[in-house]
Amino acid sequence: MRRRRPLPRSEGPWAWLAAGSVALSLLMLTALLLLIAVRGLAHFWPATVVQIEMQDGRLLAGQAVRELPLEEGHGNERLYFTGNRDLDGEIWHWLPVDAIASVERPPELTVLERRHHGRFIGRLIAVGDAGTIDGNHAQQAVWTRLEARLAALEQLRGERERLRREVLRPLIRRLDANPNDADAQLALVEANARVYDLQLAMRGEVALLESVDGRRLRQPLEEVLRAWRPNAMSLPQKLAAWAGGVWRFLAEGPRDGNTAGGVWPAIFGTVLMVLLMSLLVTPFGVLAAVYLNEVAHQGRWTNLVRIAVRNLAGVPSIVYGVFGLGVFVYGIGSSLDEWFFSDSLPSPTFGTGGLLWASLTLALLTLPVVIVATEEGLARIPVEQREGALALGATRFETLARVVLPMAVPAMLTGVILAVARAAGEVAPLLLVGVAKLAPQVPVDGEFPFLHLERKFMHLGYHIYDTAFHGSDVQAAMPLVFASALLLVLVILVLNLTAIFLRHHFRVRHGVQPRP
């Protein structure tokens, strides 16, 4: 018997259109991530430093940043990062490409990362005591000496930090509790003396520096954080330096008005705020959903509440910020201050923006998402499951607690995932209820009560905004903006993955649904 095979029916243009949209979205997403990843991560690469001789005889040293065409027919103009703010008053130079006579890469060119005035780019002449320094040392010996001294200084700084953290702060806490503790007073004097000794040991040495055009500079070594000679570095050395740079960006606090240094307090603040928000929003959202779906009489009134809750999700976030400011900060916060912290008035404790109010505001903002997701999860649980529990003699509450809620946990976590995704990227309401430009002290420390809910905190989203628009040098801050943006994306990704992992765990624990 001959069987006729059906001809494949063309799906028409719709399938192509749909697939094309997906491809385009994916492409845009990848491009976006690539852009912020490349621009952000390139910042930490120890880029080659060139010495430029202009046709008019001027000498400059710096790193090429980018090139733009000049007006019609005048060739290109190149931007160099030249550092040396203390010598030039300017760290950027736009040079017409046609006016450049030669570009060299002398291996001895040195870059110094300094606590003040940003980077130095030039030559290292000598290292020695401030009084007796002269310029007659062999290059290699000087470089070795500088590296040794910088390592020693790093160690001294670490020792000082350790002393402050482990000896001084506990002592001060002891004295706060009992000002007449003679042992503590003695120990404090001793510890202070040791810190002073350390600081003395750091002082006194200078590096004699020379820019490529021959101007000399005496740079106190204690101000120098790092030094490297990018032209003399091998690829593994550069990679190590890059990794170190990325690590310092993640682990250190900001310097120089957020234009340099790391973002650790901002990472910490973002994660802590989101976690607190999740802790606040989950129980409220779940209870509200349980009431709406399980307890309340289903009628017009409950539907009205449902519509209201869904619409709350559409309210602009800044409105929540205003609400948080008015109710939490000025309302509840001020009252708390009057009742419990009247000693420290007029300086406010809870009567100003802080971690708690920010978390609460964002919890309110994300509440509808959690309620809706949980309610949908509860509604999906088959009626046979509930009846099965009831038929075994379970009360309504026991059915809810032992069968229905455990089965709805994945749905609740879906709600939390959506809430985290929304809250972690939210900046506008935070401006009103507690984010700070600079709060190097993170809200968790060894001091009772360990979690300081009243403190202001840093947030990656706000840090990006602040670095991009409020710094003294936008050009210098741009790479940090990209790096922070990349980090914000990664933080949200990690938070979401955690929740997704949890959800998967619960799904597996409750078995896979036997029926669709």
Question: Applying CB under 8 A, which residues contact another protein?
Answer: 297, 382, 384-385, 387-396, 398, 402-403, 406-407, 510-515
Q: How far is the CB of 386 from another protein (least distance, A)?
A: 8
**Residue 203 or residue 402: which is nearer to another protein going by CB?**
402
* Nearest approach, Cβ of residue 503 and another protein (Å): 14
Q: Minimum distance between the CB of residue 309 and another protein, rounded to whole angstroms?
A: 24
Distances (CA, A) of 461 to 114, 299, 373: 27, 42, 26
Give bridge partners of residue 256 from the DSSP assignment. none
The two three-digit tokens of residue 308, written as one number: 């209201």
Q: CB of residue 375 vs another protein: minimum separation in angstroms?
A: 18
Residues 6+ apart with CB under 8 A from 51: 59, 60, 61, 103, 104, 105, 106, 109, 212
What long-range pairs does 123-126 form, CB within 8 A, spacing at least 24?
A: 123/209, 123/210, 123/211, 123/212, 124/207, 124/208, 124/209, 124/210, 124/227, 125/208, 125/209, 125/210, 125/216, 126/207, 126/208
Specify whether the CB–CB gap between 226 and 115 falls below 8 A: no
DSSP reduced 3-state for 433 = helix
Q: How far is the CB of 506 from another protein (least distance, A)?
A: 10
Alpha carbon of residue 74 to chain centroid: 42
Whole-number Å distance between alpha carbons of 125 and 130: 14
Q: Under DSSP, is residue 72 helix (H, G, I), strand (E, B) or coil?
A: coil
Least distance (Å) between residue 290 CB and another protein: 16
DSSP conformational letter for 137: S
Report the residue number, 86 or 387, with the smaller CB distance to another protein: 387
Least distance from another protein to the Cβ atom of residue 498, Å:
23
Q: Which is nearer to another protein, 270 or 399 (CB)?
A: 399
User: Whose Cβ is closer to another protein: residue 364's or residue 389's?
Assistant: 389
CB of 293 to another protein, least distance (A): 13
Q: How far is the CB of 388 from another protein (least distance, A)?
A: 4
Of 401 and 451, nearer to another protein (C-beta) is 401
Q: Token pair of 457, please?
A: 């905190």
- Rounded CA-CA distance 256/139 in Å is 31
CA distances from 330 to 42, 233, 349, 351, 454 (A): 44, 57, 11, 6, 13
Would you say 99 or 391 has its CB closer to another protein? 391
Residue 490's CB is within 10 A of a number of other CB atoms, namely 13
In the bound state with another protein, the residue whose beta carbon lies nearer, of 281 and 409, is: 409
User: With 0-12 CB in 10 A as exposed, 13-18 as middle and 19+ as buried, what is 100?
Assistant: middle
Looking at beta carbons only, is 2 or 297 nearer to another protein?
297
* Smaller CB separation from another protein, 21 or 395: 395
SS3 call for 109? coil
Nearest CA among 274, 449, 425 for reference residue 359:
274
Instruction: Answer yes or no: are the C-beta atoms of 334 and 352 closer than 8 Å.
Output: no
Tell me the β-bridge partners of 102: 53
Q: How far is residue 252's CA from residue 238's CA, in Å, rounded to a whole number? A: 20
When the beta carbons of 124 and 407 are compared against another protein, the nearer one is 407
Q: How far is the CB of 509 from another protein (least distance, A)?
A: 8
* SS3 at position 91: coil
Prior bond of 283 cis (ω within 30°): no
* CB 469, min distance to another protein, A: 52
Q: Closest separation between CB of residue 369 and another protein, Å? A: 25
Nearer to another protein, 303 or 385 (CB): 385
Nearer to another protein, 9 or 297 (CB): 297
Q: Report the C-alpha gap between 474 and 467 in whole angstroms.
A: 8
